[in-house]
Amino acid sequence: MGNLVRDNYIQYRSNPDNDDKSDAYFCTSHQISLDELQELIKQDKKLQVDILKARRSTYAKRMKKIDAALFRAAEAGDCKAADLLYRRFDGWNPKIVEETNNYYNFTDMVKGLRAKKATIIKRPM
C-alpha cells in the first residue's frame, strides 16, 4: 500500500459527496482491507491535514458559484444578500451604520435605495 492508496483516500475524503460514506465503502471500492487503511491513517500523521487542504480546495471551487449568486441577488435588491456581501468581503459587521450622527438600519437603507430606484425607473419620460 503506497502513495496511490493515500492519494485516492485524500481524494475520497475531500469530496463532500462522500461525507455519508464510510471508510469500509472506500476499502471495498479500492480493494484494500479496512485494517490496512486504518494502519495508514494511524501511521501517516500528515494525512488529515492533507485531506483538510484538499477539501478546502474543493469548496473554494464551489464557492465561486455561491459568490456569483450572492452578487446577482444583491444587485437585484435583496437586502440580506447585500448585507452578506459586505460581511463576507469587507469584514463589515455592525448592525447599524452611523451617518451624520443619525443611525440607520442597514436593511432600511437598502430598501429605501431600492424604492428610490423603482420610482426613478417608473417616471415617464
Residue 100 has pLDDT above 50, yes or no: no
- Give me 56's grid cell: 478546502
To the nearest whole percent, how much of the chain has pLDDT over 90? 43
Please name the residues in contact with 78: beta carbons below 8 A apart, sequence gap of 6 or more. Answer: none
Q: How many CA atoms lie within 13 A of 23 on its CB side?
A: 14
| H or E, element range at 105 | strand 102-105
Per-residue confidence (pLDDT) for residue 73, from 0 to 100:
93
Per-residue confidence (pLDDT) for residue 120, from 0 to 100:
58
Residue 21 has pLDDT above 80, yes or no: yes
* Cell 477539501 -> residue: 55
Query: Taking the model in full, what pTM does it have?
Result: 0.54
Beta strand pairing call for 96-99 and 102-105: antiparallel
Per-residue confidence (pLDDT) for residue 101, from 0 to 100:
44
